[in-house]
């Protein structure tokens, strides 16, 4: 009985944790490059997922085509978000920039309501992977898809940041924008790119979460917050650790759902967030995505 519970916790925890991990990396990327906490991160997922859903109604998408389309939408949406928030207020106070992302989140919610209505919408499973049983461990189709999407994104992003010229430029800007610009790197380009990368990650997260829970116009803020909690657990310092923070959060939440009620789960999550923020404030000052 206990083993069954544990297997259930691992299964649903990994499914949720992968999504949180992807959202967290998006948060960390933007925060590291521009010191901005992006309140509209969840809306990137929402609009990306809803657009993909509309596309599936018109076209029969192969898995590769779905992935390409999601990445492309994510990239464009990320750029659009940058252009309407940090891009217009690059010299504004951090508070103005923060609030611009809040207003953008409201605008995007409005677009979602106008275009897709207020009812939840199911995104079909676009990457049909078979369920897997590893001894006592059981990974459902949705969990495996979410995990594969997330791990592949993490690996690709890590390789991109570590081994490409542009990736190194993004890291340089996150470490020292002035020094980076003296080396001929345009910080604005790297900020935009970090938004676009966050957009791609959010679209991948949408593909992972769409078939698990439906997509609804007001889901963005909650998911974005979970991404922030996960990024805080991960410490903002490396893509892998931030992703691991997301997986940990997912597993803890899944365990709490089985042990406590849904509302208490939320309460414990936010108590955890505040505890982490208060107990380790010094570390993040120097934290950079590497």
Partner 1 sequence: MSARPSRQARNVAGFFLALCAVGLFLPNYRLLVVNQHLFLAINVLALNFCLGLGGQISLAQGGLAGLGAYASVLAHAHFPQASAIIVPVTALAAFGLAAAVSRPMERLGEGFLAMATLGLSLIFTNLVLTMEPLTGGSAGMMVETRLILPWIGPLSGDRTFFFLFLGLLALGCWIFSALKNSRPGRALLACKDDPLAASSCGIDRPALRSLSFGLGGAFSAMAGMLHAHYGGFINPEQFSLELSLKALLFLVIGGPGNLLRPLLAVMVLETLMSGMQFLGEGRTLAHGLLLTAALLAGYRRTARPARNTVPASSVAEGHKPM
Q: Which among 105, 114, 147, 113 has a CA at the least distance from the CA of 129?
A: 147
Question: In whole angstroms, what is the distance from residue 166 CA to residue 197 CA?
Answer: 12
The answer to whether 83 contacts partner 1 (rule: CB under 8 A) is no
The answer to whether 96 contacts partner 1 (rule: CB under 8 A) is yes
Please identify which residue in 59, 64, 106, 159 interacts with partner 1, judged by CB under 8 A: 106
Please identify which residue in 61, 102, 214, 251 interacts with partner 1, judged by CB under 8 A: 102
The answer to whether 121 contacts partner 1 (rule: CB under 8 A) is no
Please identify which residue in 61, 221, 257, 258 interacts with partner 1, judged by CB under 8 A: 221
The answer to whether 46 contacts partner 1 (rule: CB under 8 A) is no
User: Least distance in Å: CB of 274 to partner 1?
Assistant: 5
Closer residue to partner 1 in complex, CB, 63/89: 89
Please identify which residue in 61, 76, 79, 84 interacts with partner 1, judged by CB under 8 A: 84
Please identify which residue in 4, 5, 35, 162 interacts with partner 1, judged by CB under 8 A: 35
Closer residue to partner 1 in complex, CB, 59/277: 277
Residues in the chain: 290
DSSP 75-128: HHHHHHHHHHTTTT-TTS-HHHHHHHHHHHHHHHHHHHHHHH-SS-BPPP-SS-
Find the DSSP H helices in the chain: 2-34, 41-58, 63-84, 94-116, 141-163, 165-175, 177-182, 187-209, 220-234, 239-259, 262-279
User: Least distance in Å: CB of 209 to partner 1?
Assistant: 20
What are the b/e assignments for 10-40, b being 16+ CB within 10 Å? bbbbbbbbbbbbbbbbbbbbbbbbbebbbbb
State the residues that interact with partner 1 by CB under 8 A.
31, 34-37, 84, 86, 88-100, 102-111, 113-114, 117-118, 176-179, 181, 187-188, 191, 221, 225, 228, 232, 261, 263-264, 266-267, 270-271, 273-274, 277-278, 281, 284-285
């Amino acid at each position: 009985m206990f083993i069954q519970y544990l297997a259930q916790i691992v299964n649903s925890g990994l499914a949720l944790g992968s999504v949180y991990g992807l959202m967290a990396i998006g948060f960390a990327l933007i925060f590291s490059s521009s010191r901005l906490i992006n309140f509209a991160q969840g809306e990137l997922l929402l609009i990306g997922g809803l657009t993909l859903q509309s596309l599936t109604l018109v076209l029969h998408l192969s898995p590769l085509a779905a992935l390409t389309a999601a990445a492309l939408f994510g990239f464009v949406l990320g750029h659009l978000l940058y252009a309407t928030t940090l891009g217009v207020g690059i010299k504004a106070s951090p508070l103005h920039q923060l609030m611009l992302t809040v207003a953008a989140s409201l605008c995007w919610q409005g677009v979602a309501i106008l275009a897709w209505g207020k009812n939840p919408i199911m995104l079909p499973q676009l990457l049909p992977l078979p369920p897997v049983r590893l001894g006592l461990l059981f990974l459902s189709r949705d969990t495996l898809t979410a995990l594969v999407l997330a791990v592949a994104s993490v690996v690709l992003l890590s390789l991109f940041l570590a081994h490409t010229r542009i990736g190194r430029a993004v890291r340089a800007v996150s470490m020292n924008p002035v020094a980076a610009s003296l080396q001929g790197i345009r910080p604005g380009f790297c900020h935009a790119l970090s938004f676009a990368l966050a957009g791609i990650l959010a679209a991948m997260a949408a593909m992972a979460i769409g078939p698990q829970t439906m997509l609804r116009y007001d889901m963005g803020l909650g998911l974005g917050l979970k991404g922030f909690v996960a990024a805080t657990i991960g410490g903002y310092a490396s893509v892998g650790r931030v992703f691991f923070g997301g997986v940990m959060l997912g597993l803890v939440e899944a365990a709490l759902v089985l042990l406590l009620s849904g509302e208490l789960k939320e309460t414990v999550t936010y108590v955890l967030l505040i505890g982490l923020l208060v107990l380790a404030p010094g570390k993040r000052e120097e934290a950079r995505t590497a």
